[in-house]
Structure 1
């Protein structure tokens, strides 16, 4: 993030090996015109240039409007629109030769944002109106993306600064997210297991990046950032049956 610059309505970011794939998807979204997302202005050997998504932003702890059910439902609605639009992208674009930060997950149903958390959304009051930070997009199943978003929005987190309410309140929020997205019962039944798998994959990615010498992830591992995810995995294991019964219709 230290290398990201914002001047007026233009965001300048370092180019990455997967940027061309991300740009192709962003251009598709711009052509669809149903979502507010960054638009590609151009790129060179070192940087990409994108439009700035206007709106308010937040991070944990979720308070005020950002902790509201309206915010949660609006995120679920945006995610459904994003996924549905990506189905058309997959029909019209070949994935051969495409590069992604994160590995493709089977079955490929949509393009996953992979980090549709509160801090990657633009808000107007309590309503999420735009999505940004598409670096982590990759092909995968809907539930893979939905599971992580619900984990972030329930949120099923154990850190006091990140959690919101008790397990019953978290389950209620998770079910409301499922309802707003219109998640089927078969997917709700595997929701918790998918959340656990998604967090395990995140820890593996962080560890691999640190071992490859990435300074950001080295700092994250040294500071014990991954330990929070491990605690959340234990929390999900412990409440798996209760959560599943609570979200299934």
Structure 2
């Protein structure tokens, strides 16, 4: 591939217009882009390097970010998170991000995408910490990508979403794990939640998952793309059945996080 040749990047559900050129990624911009770039710049300035670095806007009006080499975990590379210590590393990486963002002051008049109303607002959260946004590279080159949904939220809101995808907590037979309670405990231990936070987290696991179903349902009813397409493809049903699976097992999650 020539250094200036555009290579489409198609790994996610919402990746239209995302291309790689050399060591950069070019993406469509939105009203939220200046705030997201300020966030990413702050993260690098305080030493959190597990995110793309913003490089400005190109002559086509696209944002320019550094390319993160490696493999994306979803959908068929969950082995990258084995053994359990690698899943724990993901949780610690999220904790490092949350610690790094704690002192971030958004620019005046910052605009965020804010697709789903968050419970809590103690940080600027990522809102899509999931296997489809974790790039696993060599040695220390692990990074989260796709920061365009960042915005006000809470640590627990971010963690609940991450647990759904990374443990995972899923009704789908391909993703169900008999050791899910143990993996949940290991994830939360690695992140470092105290007992009070664990108690607040348990009911949030189901609510955060169900919020994805409700968002897709409402956007599809309005005919908003790409959410209408995802709803038609059955993503809403997946989020709903996962939410039901999680809610029906709250006692298991409570025992895993609070017993002993």
**Cα gap change, 1:95 to 1:71, in 2 (>3 Å):** farther
1:11 CA drift (Å)? 0.5
Please list the CA deviations of residues 137-163 of structure 1 after superposition, one character each: whole Å capped at 9, or x if unmatched: 111121111111111122110112333
Decide whether aligned partners of structure 1 residues 49 and 128 sit closer, same or farther in structure 2, where only a CA change above 3 A counts.
closer
Which segments of structure 1 move beyond 3 Å, counting only runs of 4 or more?
92-97, 103-107, 124-128
* Pairing of 1:89-128 with structure 2 (within 5 A): 89=104, 92-93=105-106, 96-102=109-115, 105-124=118-137
CA RMSD for the aligned pairs? Answer: 2.1
Equivalences for 1:127-138 in 2 at 5 Å? 129-138=142-151
What SS does the aligned partner of 1:160 have? coil
Deviation at 1:243, TM superposition (A): 1.2
Q: 1:211: Cα distance to partner?
A: 3.1
Which whole-Å deviations, capped at 9, do the CAs of 1:64-111 have from their partners, x for residues lacking one? 33343122111111100100111110xx33564432233563532222
Displacement, 1:36? Answer: 2.4
Which 5+ residue runs of structure 2 have no aligned equivalent?
A: 1-14
Q: Contact between 1:76 and 1:180, CA under 8 Å: does it hold in 2?
A: yes
TM-score, normalization: structure 1? 0.89
Structure 1: any 5+ residue segments left out of the alignment? none
SS at match of 2:72: coil
Match of 1:73 among 76, 79, 88: 88
C-alpha distance 161-202 of structure 1, shift in aligned 2 (>3 A) = same
CA separation in 1, counterparts of 2:162 and 2:139?
17
Q: Distance in 1 between matches of 2:78 and 2:116?
A: 33
Q: Residue 139 and residue 41 in structure 1: after superposition, are their counterparts in 2 closer, same or farther (change >3 A)?
A: same
Moved more, 209-218 or 176-185: 209-218
Asked whether the 8 Å contact 1:121–1:128 carries over to 2, the reply is no
Aligned length: 244
Contact 1:61–1:162 under 8 Å retained in 2: no
Tell me the SS of whatever aligns to 1:42: strand
CA contact (8 A) 1:113 1:145 kept: yes
Q: Aligned with 2:181: secondary structure?
A: helix
Q: Does structure 1 residue 210 correspond to structure 2 residue 220?
A: yes
Alignment of structure 1 residues 127-166 onto 2, 5 Å:
129-163=142-176, 165-166=177-178
Shift of 1:126: 8.7
